[in-house]
Each structure stands twice: as C-alpha cells, then as structure tokens.
Structure 1
Amino acid sequence: MSERRLGRGGTTPWGAVVLVALVAAGALAWFLPRTFGGDEACAAGVVRLGGECVGVTDGAYSFDGELDEVTRRIREENERVERSGAASVSIAYVESMTRGADGASAGGRADDRDPTVVRQALEGAYLAQRAHNRLDADDPRADEGPSPKVRLLLANTGAGGAHYERVVRDLEGRARGDDHLVAVTGLGQSVESTVATVRRLRRAGIPMVGATVAADELARKDPDFFRVSQPTAQQAAIAARELAGRQREDPGYRVDLVKDIKAGDTYNKALRDGFEAAAAERGVRLATDDGYSFESGSSSTANALTYIADQVCRARQELDAVYFAARGRALRQFVQALADQPGCDLAVVSGSSALGLYFDSPDLERWGAQGLRIRYTAYAHPRAGDPAALADFAERYCADFRPGTRRDACAAGDGPLQSGQAIMGHDAMLALVRAVEFATGPDGDDPVDAGAVRQMLLQLGTTKEVRGLSGPIGFDAYGNPKDKPMAYVELQWRSGFRYVHKAELWP
C-alpha cells in the first residue's frame, strides 16, 4: 500500500487518511445543521427541528408513542390503497402531534391538546378513511367502494404549531405532485399558528375541514375553510342563552365572568368577547361590571386564580355560577383552587376547551364531593348524535382500538367516545371523503382535484346530505356548521371522570 510522509518522523497509511476524512465529514454533517439551521432527517418527509420531529408522513413514522397504534393502522390502510392499483387522492390530517423537546405540550404556547385527544381524533379519521375505501376482500360491498380511494397523511406542525410553515410548504408541494393532495383536515387548536396555517393553505387553493378548531376569524364568506365544530363566539352565545334561561326561571340566580386576557390566544379572546356580547344581548345579569381577569401561562397564574376562587366563593350565598372564558388547562387550576374553598358549590360553565381538564388530573376528585359542577358546551357526545350511526361506529371503534371491550362500554360515561374527539375526527374526515366521492360525478369518472373537492363541500347541507355521528354535516355561507346543536355536558367524578350529557343546546 502506498504511503505518504506526514512531516517529521513518520508516515501514515492512506486508509487511515480516508478513515479520518470520513469521520471528519460525518462530524461536519452533524455539526453544520445544528450551527447554521439545517435539517436532520427523522424519516422520509420528517425532519428534526427545535428538538422534535415534524413534517408529513404516510404512517411510516409515528410522532408520539401515544399515536403508535393508530399510525400503524393508517400506514397499513395506505399500503392497501397502493396495492389495490385503484386511483387515489390524499388528505392530510394537520395537527400538533408532539410535545416539544422539554416534554411540554406546547413549548410555552397555548395548548391543551393532550396526546390522548389527538389519538382519539386520528382514530376517528382513520375509521372514516377505511369505511370509504372498502378494500376488505370479505366485505360484500368491497367492489362497490367509490373511486378514487383515499390515502391519509399525518402532518405534524410541532408543539404549539411552531413549525407550521415547513409543513405547509410540504403540503403545497404534495398538492402539485404525485400524492394528489386534495384537502386538509384536523387543524387542532385556535391559536395564531393555526390561523396562519389556514391562510397559507387558502392561498394555495387547498380546501380544509376543521375537526375541533373554533377560531371565529377563520370563517369568511364563499369559504374554502369549513368545520364541523361550532365557532367560539357561537359556543359563548349558547352558554349565555342557557344562563339567561336560568335567570328567567330564578330571578335570584347570580352569574359572573372569569376571563383570561392573555394576548395572542384567539380562543380565549373570542370566548370572553362572545360571552360578554351575548350576555348583554340575552339580558344575562352579571354580579360585577367587569368580572375577574387573569393571564394564563405565567408562574403567577395559579396564585391569581386562587385569589379569584376566594372571591367568588366568599360570595357563595349570592353567586350561583361563573362563566370561565379560558382554556381547559387554566380551568383545571381554577377548579383546584375552588376545591380548596370549603363549601364552595358553584356551577362553572365553559367552552369546548374544558376537555383539557380531563387529562393529567388525578388530584381533582376533591371537588366532586363538595358539589362543584363543571359544565361545558361540547362539540359532540354519544347521546347527542345519530343513534344508529353511533352504534355502528362504536362497534367498529371497539373492534379496532379496544378489542375485547363491549360496544356499550366504549360509549359509556367514562368510555373513550365520551370526549367527542373520535366523533369529531371522524365527521371532519367523513365530510371530505364524501366530497371526494361526489366530485367524481354521476358516472363516477370525473377527475378529482382540490377545486372539485371545494365545490362539493359547498354543496353539503344544500344539495347534498351527509349524516355525521355528531349530527347532520352541512355548512353555511361562512363554512360554519349549519343547523347543528351542541351537547351540554357535565363533568362528574365517580372513581374517575365521567362525561354526563345534560342537554342539547341550539345557537
């Protein structure tokens, strides 16, 4: 082997030189992305940014251990579509699916989307995809399945949606490429990154159906953003109507407002503004002129809520209910503070984000014994939708994700369908797969693209009827749900959380 002299006193084999060069190149490849902002691949279509893996996958990569099973099933369904040889289009489920490098669910941003919530919504979306594709050989309807089939992509925007721009760029490319991306669903929470995501996708001409996103500013006339979830102001108006009814029945029924004034949180702002406007319109008499204000997300939030709890409970002989205009994580802190007030038996009413109270909350059972009532306007509940459709869905859901569990157990008071997240994930996906089906035309052979899907979404609730699990799926001129009530749900503690349906409330 040839050698090269390396200065005074010796030689080094060329093999060693090559080895050193390779090691140096590898180190440089590791160092440069971290120093100058490059990307480290986690998997095909997925890169590591800010300590978390974000991007778009067909199910070959799972963004969180909680999502492993549903991700695996989505991957299998996508592979079945590919093996079938049938024409196909793609729909992306866009959501914050990771909790950040430090394990926090939002990296300092507003976020009460527990991984369990995300998993349940994806489970519902998968079941809608699978029912549409009908690829089972033992299914007598297998040959009747509409064409094209649907591939479901998972698009993780990162903790709090921090990396939405990277994901949107990827989706824009997939809409122009071989993936034939025709629509987006999911979209998670009403935070600024979600609003920005919708604006970018709107400019790209990609229609969207939100599953549980409530921001009022997302709606516009002649929509390309639709949703199966009621907007925030509508939720607040529904609650105001309920409280006004209580005051009509009992003129001595006293209500006040507790509100989060944190800047930049579209959900909180719309909830408090919507409630104040609806309360004035409905004639709800508030006990104080301005209510009680706090700012979530700081180290002093818990202390502020403790002082507020002390005040509203001091007046417990006069105050019967408070409307809590804030997210579920803050509601949890407030309920903890109320539970420390002896004899405080208030009714606390809030919006759909109260769901965040259910997770990581084993220390909340104290409030159940002292008479605190936690009620909220929910997007869906098994007792508030289509009974026949829900029974069939519960059977499929249990079979796939709770094997060995009876169907009624899945829909019982503490069952996995009670949160409504699987129902909403299903209905948002159902709206899109129906739009794909309708877009093929009477003969079933018209081409399907993003524009055609939007055209058919505009027909839902007018010329086309779709029965969802949560009720009829149709959209008004602004893309909001049409002729659809909300479930009014009470959280109860009976050796665990139970979601008790109280009523259906209409806008």
Structure 2
Amino acid sequence: MQNPFRYRVFYTVRQKIVTSAVALALLVWGTVTVVQRVTTPEDRSCAPGVSRPAGSDECVGVATAGNGYAFGREQLKQVADAIGRENATLEDGRYATVALLLPLTSTSPGLREKVLNELQGAFAQQYRANRQNNEVPKIRLLLANTGKDNVHWKTAVDQLKTMTGAPHRLRAVSGIATSSGPVSRAVGELTRAGIAVVGTTITADDIANGPGALRFPGLARVSPTNGDEARALAHFGRVDAAKALLVHDTRTGDHYTDTLKNAFSRLLARSPHESQLFTSDADPNAEGTTANTFRRITHLVCDAGARTVFFAGRHTQLRQFINALGARGCQDLRITVLTGDEASYLGGDPQLDRSALDTGLTVRYAALAHPDAWRARPGYRPPETGGSTAAYEEFVRTLGTVAKAPAGPIGRTALADGQTIIAYDAMATAVRAVREATPPGDHVPPLADVARQWPQVKGSLKVPGASGWICLDNHGNPHNKAVPVVQLTRGAPRFVAMAWPEGEPPAADCLPPRRP
C-alpha cells in the first residue's frame, strides 16, 4: 500500500509546484553565496593602515591612526597605549610625525625584547620633547611594522612615502635597528624619497654615507660603525695579534657580520693564524648545525694557543660558540672573546651556559650604551668629554615619569642592553632636526630641510645624548662616539670601561677633523 502522506505531499500538483519553488530558491541562494565568496575579496585588514599580506598572518604596515595599536603583541600593548594617549593630546596641523620602523612582530625572543625597549626609549623622548618649553612642532609618533625578518619592509616603506603631506606630515623615520639587506633597501628608498632617517642600532659600515659615497642622502646614525667598534676594542684591549685569531661567519649578504669581519680582519693583519669559519643558517636566529661546527673549532682554538678570539657573527651563533668554549679541552688556557654589539642580546638568553664563564673564559663586547657608563661610582669617574652624567640622569628622570600614570605605564623597562637608551637618543636627534628645520612662525618644516640638518649637529649644536655626545660628521656618522665595553657575567652584563674609536675621548668642542 502506498504511503498516503507521501502522495499528499509530493504528488499533488500544488505540492510539486511548492517543492520545485523551494528547491529553486535554495539553488539560487547557494549559487549567490558561492559567487559572493569567490568575487568578494577577503577582509585582511587589521587596523587603519595595517593589513595581512597574502599568504601571511602578520599584520604589517603603518598604524596611521596613532591610537595605540600594538600589532597583536601583548608585550607592546602598554607602551603602544601610552603613545596613543600622547598622540591624542596633539592639535591637528601643529605637529610633525616621526615613524618608528621596526620588525614589531618578530618571533625571535631577543629581537622582541629589543623592539619593546626601543619603543619605550622613543616614547620617553617624544613625551619629553612635547614638554620642552612649548617648542614647535609637537611630535607625533607612529609605529610601522616590517614583519618577521623585515620581509615586508616594502609594504611599510611604500606607505610612509605617501604620508609626508596632511594629515600626517611625516618628517623623519627612526627605529632602523638591524644591519641587514632588507633594512638597507628600506633606508635607500626612504632617503631617495627625501625623508630623513635616523638609525638607532645599525652599525654596518656599508649602511652609511662617506666621502664620495652618498648612498643614503639624509641618513644619520647615533651608533658607531662596526669599524669604529673594532678600533675601540683594539685601543681598549691592546691585543697581541700573534696570540689572536678570528672566528667568522661565511654567510654573505649580512651587513653586520660582513663589515665586522672586515674590521676585525684589518686588526689581525699580523696574526699567524688563519681564520676559523662557520656558516650560519639563512635565518640567523635559527639554531641550524653550527653548534657542531663550534665544538670542532674549539679544538683548533686550543691547538693555536689563542688568548684572544675575535668573533664576527650574530648572537645565536655567538651563544653556541660560548657554550662550546665552556666545554673546551684546554681549560687551563685563559681566553677572551671580543665581539660586537650583537652580544647584548645574550644578557637574558636562557640558552646561554653561564657556567662557561667560570672556565677561564671572558666575553666582552662593544655595547652601544650601558646604564653604568656615565654614572660615577667608587673607582670609576666618567670621562669629562664625550658625554655627561647630567644627560644620562635626565634620561632616567624622564623614564621614571613615563613609567607610571598618567603618561604610562609602558611595561617592564630593562636598560642593560642599551636599546632603550640608544632609541631615546635617536629620537632626540630626529626631534632636533625637525625643529631646527622649522621656519620661525611655522608649525611644520619643509620635508627636504629636515634631512639637511645633519652637517650642523656638532660642536655646541651636538645632541647631548644619554649614550654619549652625538656629534655628526658631514656624512651623518657619529664622530668618536663613546663605546662602553661590557662583559657577560652570570648575572646582568657588567660595564668594564669606556673605549673610543680614536683611542681617547673627543675634544670639548666635539668637532670632527677634516678627512681626506
């Protein structure tokens, strides 16, 4: 017997029409939904000016609203919020913008700490500058993210180049923090667009200008070059080249390691020992297989009887090398490792075997800044020139103000790696140029005039930085900048002494000499 319900529902003329109509409606709805999904672009925005590039989950670009967007990084939220509150106090048309260009979403623990510290230092200077005797223009601070390993540098730079007009009035970019190929290209594009750039912790000699080589017109730096760091270490250590050797990375294209290797090679021209080589991973933060190489290199260091080892490489490989030296066979041989400022990352590295430092091994590096460099203590008086205790103490007071409400909080501050100090000084240098370029009666300087200020930042017009005097030569490079020599310990890195590229502090006038 046929089911009467089935007959009534599906086989009457009326129900056939109803069923067909419903089926057609569902088909149309499904088709429209599919077409919309295919033809409507996915919303990849994160915040005004910030989005996720195709194939990436990182939010990159310039946070143009200036309202405290932290790029999804919880550790940056407090300082980003503080920057947003300060920006909100500024009157439209009466400020100039300085952007911080950094890899804000880096996955490297050491670089994440560095980024946080740089934001804190830059904000402290922004806050101070906006309360300096009502000077104009006020300073608006924006964050620009280049992504992990600076892969998306062009996205951020292309945006920055469009922001020189209203409402942003971008007049300088700071936060240029790593000596790498992407950063070099970013600096090149920005400076060719007429935007002044102030490097914080770039030290590579080839991301700089010089006589007959104006590759980056409008670039200024507040950190010494790798060449200057090497010369300062040589003056400090009085190294016997006959008992020294160089360990360096063979991976090319890394401006930091390449130029540090060249600088150390010149110092060791009379060394009887050939260099010991390793090759790091394409990602210098990756562990790779270099730990195995360093285990073998330590045997050769012992065979050579080396007392001093110059190391040209990034911090991950330096940590591996130190750990390997801690287990070396010749522990009766006292060895000093000398290296560049990348060692500052190791102060908080949990993978560093600190017991290695108890095996007759001393690790010292040329720091960019240190909290003890300009503070007198028993047995140490800071140099009379090249910097001042007063300038450093002003930085400490400002940092104390912004660390708490209403300006802050800005998160936990750490000064031992020098990043907060040097970012504060870089921002001070940018502010100096922006204000010196502003004509009387105006509120914003012409764009081109900001980048023209660097040759006059010297003598009585120097920037009295917390890291030391910033006296720029005609090419935007710091003259005889103070280089704190710092030693790794089981605890916090310890300041040892001040060193100078020229062998002694600059004269009181801080005027760079004529160069051939």
TM-score, length of structure 2 as denominator length: 0.81
Structure-2 change in CA distance of 1:498 and 1:201 (3 Å): same
| Stretch of structure 1 that moved more, 177-186 or 363-372 | 363-372
Q: C-alpha offsets along residues 375-429 of structure 1, whole Å, 9 cap, x if unaligned?
A: 01111112334212212322332443389xxxxxx9xxxx821211011000000
Distance 1:47 1:478 in 2: 36
Instruction: Please give the secondary structure, in 1, of the residue aligned with 2:158.
Output: helix
Aligned to 1:395: 397
**Conservation of the 8 A alpha-carbon contact between 1:87 and 1:149:** yes
The residue type equivalent to 2:20 in the other structure is G
Aligned to 2:145: 156
Aligned to 1:372: 361
Instruction: Please give the secondary structure, in 2, of the residue aligned with 1:434.
Output: helix
Distance 1:182 1:213 in 2: 20
Q: C-alpha offsets along residues 252-303 of structure 1, whole Å, 9 cap, x if unaligned?
A: x7111100110211111101111112333xxxx4241x21011111632111
Distance 1:6 1:329 in 2: 73
User: What is the count of residue pairs matched by the alignment?
Assistant: 452
Selected match of 2:464 from 464, 467, 470: 467
CA-CA distance at 1:446 after TM superposition: 6.7
Aligned to 1:46: 50
Selected match of 1:240 from 218, 234, 241: 234
Structure-2 change in CA distance of 1:498 and 1:6 (3 Å): farther
CA-CA distance at 1:117 after TM superposition: 0.9
**Conservation of the 8 A alpha-carbon contact between 1:207 and 1:225:** yes
Aligned to 2:429: 431
Q: C-alpha offsets along residues 47-73 of structure 1, whole Å, 9 cap, x if unaligned?
A: 112221111112432122221111111
Please say if 1:302 is aligned against 2:299. Answer: no
CA-CA distance at 1:242 after TM superposition: 3.6
Aligned to 1:137: none
Q: What RMSD in Å do the two structures reach over aligned CA positions?
A: 2.8
Instruction: Please give the secondary structure, in 1, of the residue aligned with 2:114.
Output: helix
Please say if 1:451 is aligned against 2:457. Answer: no
Selected match of 2:499 from 492, 495, 504: 504
Distance 1:421 1:22 in 2: 54
**Conservation of the 8 A alpha-carbon contact between 1:384 and 1:504:** no
Distance 1:16 1:450 in 2: 59
Selected match of 1:199 from 184, 188, 195: 188
Aligned to 2:221: 227
Instruction: Please give the secondary structure, in 1, of the residue aligned with 2:366.
Output: strand
Instruction: Please give the secondary structure, in 1, of the residue aligned with 2:328.
Output: coil
Distance 1:378 1:481 in 2: 15
Instruction: Please give the secondary structure, in 2, of the residue aligned with 1:229.
Output: coil
Distance 2:244 2:394 in 1: 41
Distance 1:74 1:291 in 2: 47
**Conservation of the 8 A alpha-carbon contact between 2:455 and 2:475:** no
CA-CA distance at 1:450 after TM superposition: 2.1
**Conservation of the 8 A alpha-carbon contact between 1:164 and 1:193:** yes
Structure-2 change in CA distance of 1:188 and 1:23 (3 Å): farther
Please say if 1:12 is aligned against 2:22. Answer: yes
Distance 1:89 1:7 in 2: 69
Selected match of 1:361 from 350, 355, 362: 350
Instruction: Please give the secondary structure, in 1, of the residue aligned with 2:163.
Output: helix
Structure ID, larger Rg: 2
Aligned to 1:330: 317
Where structure 1 has 5 or more consecutive residues not aligned to the other structure, the ranges are 34-38, 106-111, 135-140, 404-409
| Stretch of structure 1 that moved more, 466-475 or 340-349 | 340-349
| Stretch of structure 1 that moved more, 419-428 or 448-457 | 448-457
**Conservation of the 8 A alpha-carbon contact between 2:110 and 2:349:** no
Q: C-alpha offsets along residues 81-105 of structure 1, whole Å, 9 cap, x if unaligned?
A: 14xx560110111111112xxxx43
Q: C-alpha offsets along residues 310-357 of structure 1, whole Å, 9 cap, x if unaligned?
A: 321344xx3211000111111011111112225264111001111222
The residue type equivalent to 2:253 in the other structure is G
The residue type equivalent to 2:89 in the other structure is R
Distance 1:268 1:362 in 2: 22
